[in-house]
Amino acid sequence: MSIINNINKLFDHRIRLGIMSVLMVNEFADFNMLKELLGATDGNLASHTKALEKAEYILVEKQFIGRKPNTRYSATKLGKAEFKKHIEALEKLIKKT
């Protein structure tokens, strides 16, 4: 199997890679936490979370904390597995050269 196969196109962007990194080590992260950590704008972050949601790599839950709407994200099993594969592929690529 070629290593290139394991490089996931969906993770080929700084923000999406960042979202997954945060969700690998945190059970949940809400929108504001991600925004602060990644230094992204609302619209930018929303479009990237949507892409990851569509691929079923992350789970989106909308809820209310008091009266404030709150959106929190978590990584799915599939998302975690794909992310691990992606990292391993990256490591192999670096070692190879």
Partner 1 sequence: MSNEDYLKDISEIKNLMNKSSRFISLSGLSGILAGIYALIGAAIAYYLVMNYSDGTLFIFHGWVFWTCMAVLLMIAVLSAITGIILTTRKAKKNNEKIWDITSRRLLFNFLIPLIVGGLYCMIILNQGRYGQTGGLMLIFYGLALVSASKYSIGDIKYLGYIQIILGLIASYYPGYGFWLWVAGFGIMHIVYGTWMHFKYDTK
Rank residues 21 and 71 by Cβ distance to partner 1 and give the closer one.
21
AA identity, residue 87: I
Q: What is the 3-state secondary structure (H, E, C) of 27-62?
A: CCEEHHHHHHHHCCCHHHHHHHHHHHHHCCCEEEEE
Q: Minimum Å distance from CB 88 to partner 1?
A: 11
Residue numbers of the site for partner 1 (CB under 8 A)?
12, 14, 17-18, 21-22, 24-26, 29, 33, 37-38, 87, 90-91, 93-94, 97
Q: Minimum Å distance from CB 18 to partner 1?
A: 5
Distance CA 24, CA 28 (A): 9
Q: Minimum Å distance from CB 92 to partner 1?
A: 10
